[in-house]
Structure 1
């Protein structure tokens, strides 16, 4: 395997300065895909694109929601390592690799309404690095603390560059008060190195914990990024809407103490020119249900 210089060092023994992003945000033609030039430029500037209207029709969302409920209720799947259960409430928090265990979600990952946007922004064919359903049931749904996904994907999965993006498809109404996604705009242009070595088997605890101690930025870093941005963007709207955001965006969400559940399908597309290597800052790679090592482009069959 060709050695690649680590341009985004993290999981350090002591704090280090923030690093400017060394890579493009939009790799493809801003006018060569589903997004118009203004939308692509805005994505490059703010790090995200939120669809103004639902991408998916009500009957499609109903099917996704029923499938998500079926997966969460499956006792065999609950006992599987692909399912993450809340530490305290014992509610299902996430089910991973849903594009492998559900034909419906497999078709969703290949849907051109999502995949073509990923191809445009990443400038190449793409594959699914990760897929999951996130659940935030009413009253008990836990928060996701501020973090950059790329920091984890780089450190623990061996993703070389932030040439990847996530898309969150809403299965329920997203209100300002039921734990909807928050992003610090412009944060994708700054890489925040984190302090703390990655322990063996870190994924077994980090995915269950609301605020893991490894791979998380400190409060001063979040405060500085939010100050530079002049605020935080929060994404609300109808079921069927989609939010695309860059791999290095600093993002998170509050817990849900309201009666209104929140659920979403979360898909990570990575460029086929940015495939995983050995982890940059972990003793072993995470398992393939969390970080796929099958790099077959979306829409192709191996």
Structure 2
């Protein structure tokens, strides 16, 4: 007798037909999962993360570490082979580098950093399990011309286009420059992570090629954003270089353009639980490439 594996239930349907409606869906999973190590995050930080969907870790990197990571970032964006690679994403309408993916594979320094207990154990503590890297990149927002990202939940895309079934992933953004209130810093809605907001429209083939530059599919309707902001308010991640923001995969977040003389750059790493491996996309006809959504679920080790 041949056993047929049952399909994974789609608990968060999205990319729906406008005529069928789009009811909000209450989150099923906790934000901080039991079973992880006791440290390094404090009880207060974990409580804030559970409540708001994010918390800030001050002084994650020393000034010397920030300078070294900036050197690695500059080496990446000057490397002709990296610039010619699909992993490098440019600003819309220009050839200025916006993101370079697979940062932890291109930089030995970043690879070592994310395996250090101060980072890895905090990810394991939040997700309550071993973790692997779902995605990593360095982001650059140049002065005067840096373009932002519209409001969105990362999980909506990872669920629809990558097959991430549950909300058991956490993102880490480490500032390599000062995050000011006016240079395109990340904005978040505290508490909105407890609600999944389905998006409208079908996923085009090869959508990642355009969405990594300017996302148009997989973003909420303006009335949804307005209601979430009314309920939860908006906060912004600011702080000196070396500060870090940990935020839940379903956090509603976005960033404005940077028209100031102050560029902004960061290291961005997504940790996913090994107990939440990717299946087939729930709302797309094809998988995205490995540099956007890794399918090597080997636990990250110190």
TM tier, shorter chain?
over 0.9
> What residue in structure 1 maps to residue 291 of structure 2?
289
Q: Which moved more, 1:53-62 or 1:159-168?
A: 53-62
> Is contact 2:102-2:137 (8 Å) kept?
yes
Give the superposed CA RMSD: 1.3
Moved over 4 A (4+): none
What is the CA–CA distance in structure 2 between the aligned matches of 1:54 and 1:38, rounded to whole Å?
Answer: 17
> Is contact 1:130-1:291 (8 Å) kept?
yes
1:67 correspondence with 2:72: yes
> What residue in structure 1 maps to residue 144 of structure 2?
139
Residue deviations 1:127-165 (CA, integer Å, cap 9, x gap): 000000010011111111110000000000000101000
> Is contact 2:24-2:195 (8 Å) kept?
yes
1:83 correspondence with 2:88: yes
Normalising by structure 2, report the TM-score.
0.95
What is the CA–CA distance in structure 2 between the aligned matches of 1:2 and 1:130, rounded to whole Å?
Answer: 27
Cα drift, residue 29 of structure 1:
5.4
> What residue in structure 1 maps to residue 280 of structure 2?
278
What is the CA–CA distance in structure 2 between the aligned matches of 1:159 and 1:201, rounded to whole Å?
Answer: 18
What is the CA–CA distance in structure 1 between the aligned matches of 2:37 and 2:164, rounded to whole Å?
Answer: 27
Q: 1:171 to 1:2 in 2, by over 3 A?
A: farther
> What residue in structure 2 maps to residue 159 of structure 1?
164
> Is contact 1:89-1:140 (8 Å) kept?
no
> What residue in structure 2 maps to residue 12 of structure 1?
16
> Is contact 1:178-1:258 (8 Å) kept?
yes
1:27 correspondence with 2:33: yes
Identify which of 176, 179, 192 aligns with 2:181.
176
Provide structure 1 residue ranges, at least 5 long, that are not aligned to the other structure: none
Alignment of 1:1-302 (within 5 A): 2-14=6-18, 15-28=21-34, 32-51=38-57, 53-209=58-214, 212-229=215-232, 231-299=233-301
> Is contact 1:110-1:299 (8 Å) kept?
yes
Residue deviations 1:246-291 (CA, integer Å, cap 9, x gap): 0000001111111111000000000000010000010011000000
Matched residue pairs, number?
296
Normalising by structure 1, report the TM-score.
0.95
What is the CA–CA distance in structure 2 between the aligned matches of 1:112 and 1:219, rounded to whole Å?
Answer: 40
Describe the SS at the equivalent of 1:110. Answer: coil
Cα drift, residue 93 of structure 1:
0.5
> Is contact 2:60-2:244 (8 Å) kept?
yes
> Is contact 1:109-1:128 (8 Å) kept?
no
Residue deviations 1:155-176 (CA, integer Å, cap 9, x gap): 0000010100000000001100
